[in-house]
Amino acid sequence: MKVLIFCAGGSAKWGYYLGIPKPLILLNKESILGRTLRLLKKLKVSDITIVATDPILKQPNCDYFEPASSRWFVETLISTEALWQEKTVVLMGDVFYTQEALKTILNTESKTMKFYGRSGKSLFSHKAHGELFGISFPKSDSALIHDHAQKVIKAAKSMGHGKAWQFYRSIAGFELDEKKTEENYFVEIDDFTDDFDTPEEYDLAVFRYSLVASKNPIKQAILWVWVNVLDPISIKYFGKPLYA
């Protein structure tokens, strides 16, 4: 199994906040990318390639690949075709993954492409919209990937959207702007797995996610109280979670 970690996106909303690319932001003194690599190692995954255009994202014991084109997710994806193996997994370099989410992405058995994500609002991070966290596919899906990637790229040239969601919707048979999911290609993950689209989201969530990333039992107890007691009270009386 080959794991590709995509870090080639421009992250325009992030704007090089804190002076670093988004995959290198710290939570509990560990970068998001470093955490993903540590968890993959723990799960016995060794064939990992960082797909990026900024050499600062090179990581020890990982291959590094610079895609020929990376304006949109789909361009980055098809640029990596030479790396595809019998099973290829694509992860996002700016996503905070739980270990359980990674297990789901790595271990789901399927003869067809699968997309892993959250279809709507999160009960944990309180993000109001869905997110895609990863893709897995067999090499036999190469023609399918190219066909739908070209469709999305053609649309992106006029609409400006070539993201993973548009690619998923094309594969699933939806309109590219149709916000829904189905069960043949989509696998739901709704836990603390998420990303931070903007500096504001990061600043709001950094303490909460430092607790999520901690193994300290006291901090884990604080997190449990926060999620199961304080957040519901805050939502009930103020219409928003505690940290927002």
Whether the full predicted model's pTM is greater than 0.95, yes or no, is no
CATH code where residue 38 lies = 3.90.550.10
Per-residue pLDDT tens for 154-177?
Answer: 988 877 677 899 999 999 999 999
Is pLDDT of 244 > 60? no
In a domain, 221, yes or no: no
In a domain, 223, yes or no: no
In a domain, 230, yes or no: no
Largest CA-CA distance found in the chain, in angstroms, rounded? 54
In a domain, 208, yes or no: no
In a domain, 242, yes or no: no
Question: pLDDT at position 10, please?
Answer: 62
Computed over its alpha carbons, how large is the radius of gyration of the chain?
18
In a domain, 236, yes or no: no
Question: pLDDT at position 164, please?
Answer: 93
Per-residue pLDDT tens for 100-157?
Answer: 999 999 999 888 999 999 999 887 887 888 999 999 999 999 999 999 999 999 988 8
In a domain, 18, yes or no: yes
Residue 137 domain boundaries: 2-197
In a domain, 232, yes or no: no
- Domain count along the chain: 1
